[in-house]
Chains A and B, each alone.
Chain A
Amino acid sequence: MSDNVETELLLEISDLKTHFRTPRGTVRAVDGVSLSLERGKALGIVGESGSGKTILSRSIMGLLPRSGVIREGSVKFRGQEILGKSTKEMQSVWGREMAMIFQDPMTSLNPVMKVGRQIAEPLMLHLGMNKVEARQTAEKLLRDVRIPEATRRLDQYPHELSGGMRQRVMIAIALACGPTLLFADEPTTALDVTVQAQILELINEQRRDRNMSLILVTHDLGVVAGFTDEIAVMYGGKLVEKAPTKVLFERMKMPYTEALLESIPRLDQPSHSRLAVIPGRPPDLVNPPRGCRFAPRCAYVRDRCLTEEPQLTVAESPDHVYACHYPVGSPEYHERRVELSKASTAVGGSN
C-alpha cells in the first residue's frame, strides 16, 4: 500500500447490470453497480450467497455463459471499455491481465492433468514460452506460493495434493502471467480454518510484491477486514454500502452491514451463546421487492422502506456511500434499537 507510485485508475465500472434469462423470468443478478479500483489496491466485495457478488466479479471479467445473459453498463479496464468485447478478444486478457482464484480447489483443477502442465499452460499461451522455460517458471511459481518439493509436485496430479496445497497451485496459476487484476472468489471457504489465514496472507503478500489490484469476494466481513483497502457490500444484486475498510468498521451505515458483522462468531462471547443470524432469505431477483431490497428482513424497517427505494448517499466522509433511509445512528434507528433490546430481554427472561 505504498503511495510512491502515482495512483492509476485500473478499473472503472459504472451502472453494470447482469441479467439472466431463465424460464421463470429475468434474474437481475447484478442490477446497476458502480465501482472503481486503483492499481495496487484491494477491494472486498461482501454479501450473503445470492447477493450477486460472484456474478459481479465474473461479469467484470466477462466470464459468463455464452447465451441467455444480458450485460449492460460500462466496464473500463486500464481506460479501455471491455464490456462489449467478444470472447475471442477477452481471451488475451484472461489469464494475462486478469486472473481468478476460484472457491473450491477440489474441483477447480483438472483432475487428469499434471499440476505442472496446468501452470505451464497460460505461460506458453500468453508469454510464448517453450516447454522447458514454462516448466522452470512453473517450478519457480510453486516456490513462490511456498509449496515444498516444488520439482516433484510438477509431475503430480491434483488428487495427490491436500486442499490447501491445491489452493496454492490455483494461486500459482492465477499469478503465472503477472496479472494486474486478481479476483479471488471465496478463496478460503473450502479450506480448513488453520489454512485459511495462510492462504489469505499469501494472496495479500503476492499482491503487494507484484503491485496487483485485488478483488476479494467473500461472505465473511472478518476475512476482508485485514486484507482490503475498501469494502463494497452487496445485497440483492445492488451495492448497498461502500467505504474504506477502516471507515466502514468504525461507522457502518447499513443495518445489513451491521447484521453481517454481528453474524460472525466472536471469541469474546460466552461459549454456546446463540449465533446471531439474519432472518429470512435473500430476495427473489426475478421480482425484487419494490422499495429497499433488504426491507423485508430488516429489523429497522419502516413504511417508507417498503415503497421507496433508497439511493446511494454520501456519508460524512466522501468516499463512504450507503443506500438506506434510516441508517445506523439515525434517530429512527436508535428508537427501534431501544424497543428491540427491551423485547429481547423480555424473551430472554421467560427462557
Chain B
Amino acid sequence: MRFWLQRVAMAVLLLLSVSALTFGAMNILGDPLFNILGPVAGDVNNPDSVKLIEKAKSEFDLDEPLVVRYGLWLSDFVRGDMGVQFSSDGQPPVSDLIKERLPRTATLVLLAQLMAIAIAIPWALATASRAGRLSDRISTMNTFFLVAMPNFALAIILKFVLSIKLGWMPLTYVANDPLSSRLWQMVLPALTIALPVAAVFQRLLRTDLITTLQQDFILMARAKGLSRRRVLFRHALRPSLFSFITVVGLNTGALIGGSIVVETIFRIPGIGSSLVESVLREDFPVVLAIVMIVAVAFVLINLLVDILYSIIDPRVRR
C-alpha cells in the first residue's frame, strides 16, 4: 500500500514539474503578447493598438508575475479548463479542441499498440524457438528492414499497395463518418505505426525468450512430456515479459508524438497535427495542454506497467 502511495506521489510531482517547466519555458523564451496580437504588440504609439494590448493583457493576466499566472493556469487546468487559444480568435476553447481531437489520436495509438503486441508476441515465440535457424535469420532481416524504414515511407507504401492498388482499405479518414467506418479507416494508419514498433518489441521479447528457454525449468517442463507449444506458451512466455511490458509502457508516450506523420498522411485530425500547428504558431495554451495530456498518459501507463509486473511475477508482489 505504502509503495503505491509513493508511486502516486511521484506521479503527481512529475506532472507538476513537467507543467511548470513547459509553462516557464514558453513564457520566458517566447513573448505571449506578441503571439496573441502579432505585430500589433510592438505598436505602442498607436492608441488603437494600445487599447488592444491593454485588453489582451487583462484577458490573459499578462501583468501578473509568472508564478501567479502558473497558479491560475494550474487551478483552471485541474478543473478541466485549458484556457483560450491564442490563434483562431480563441475559438474553440482549448478544452473543446482537445475533446474533439484526443479520441482520434488515442484510438489510433491504442489500436497501433494492440496490433504491435499482437504481432510481436507470436512472432517472437516463433523465432525464439528456432533461434539461429534460417527462418529466424530471415525474420531478423525483416526486422531491420521495418525498423530502418522511415514512417512516412512505410505509410506511403502501405497506402499505395493496400488502398490504391488493391482497394482493400479506405484511403483517408473522414471525421463525419459513423464510428464503425471510422475505426476501419484507422486500421491502415495504426498498422503503419505498429509494424516498426512490433519489430522492436519482437527483437526484445525474442532475446528474453531465448534466455528463458535455457533455464532449468524449461528442461523440466520438457521432461514432463509437454508439447513444444505448451512449453513456449505456458512456461517460457510469462517469465520473459518483463522488459517487454516495460518498453511497451515507455513506448506509448513516444507513439503519441510519432503519430504526427501518420496523422498527416492519412488526414486524421488528431492531437499530433494540432501539436505541430500550435508549435509553429507558438500557440502556448494548446502546446501546454497537449504536453500535459501526453505526460498524464505516460504516467498512467507506467503505473499500469507496475501493476502488471506484480501480476506476471508473484515474487515482486508487495
Contact = CB atoms under 8 A, between A and B. Distances in A.
Which of A96, A112, A157, A173: most chain B CB closer than 10 A?
A112
B228 interface: yes
Chain A interface, >50% SS class: loop
Interface of A: 61, 63, 67, 87-88, 90-96, 99-100, 102-104, 107-113, 121-122, 125-126, 157, 159, 170, 173
Contacts of A102: 216, 219-220, 223
Interface string B213-250: 00111011111111110000011001100000000000
Given A110-B235, A112-B314, A157-B314, A125 B220 contact: no
Which 3 interchain pairs have the tightest Cβ spacing? A95-B225, A94-B225, A95-B224
Given A157-B315, A159-B315, A110 B217 contact: yes
Contacts of A63: 219, 222-223
B312 interface: yes
Secondary structure of the B side of the interface? helix
Contacts of A96: 225
B227 to A, nearest CB: 6
Contacts of B239: 110-112
B76 interface: no
10 contacts: A67-B133, A92-B225, A93-B225, A108-B217, A110-B235, A112-B313, A121-B234, A122-B224, A157-B314, A159-B314
A153 to B, nearest CB: 14
B238 A94 contact: no
A157 B224 CA distance: 19
Contacts of B215: 107
B223 A107 contact: no
Contacts of A61: 223
Contacts of A157: 314-315
Nearest to B315: A159
B225 A122 contact: yes
Contacts of A87: 228
A107 B228 contact: no
A99 B219 CA distance: 12
Given A110-B235, A157-B315, A173 B216 contact: no
A126 B223 CA distance: 12
B217 A121 contact: no
Nearest to B221: A110
Contact of B217 (A91, A93, A103, A107): A107
Contacts of A100: 220, 223
Given A157-B315, A159-B314, A159-B315, A109 B217 contact: yes
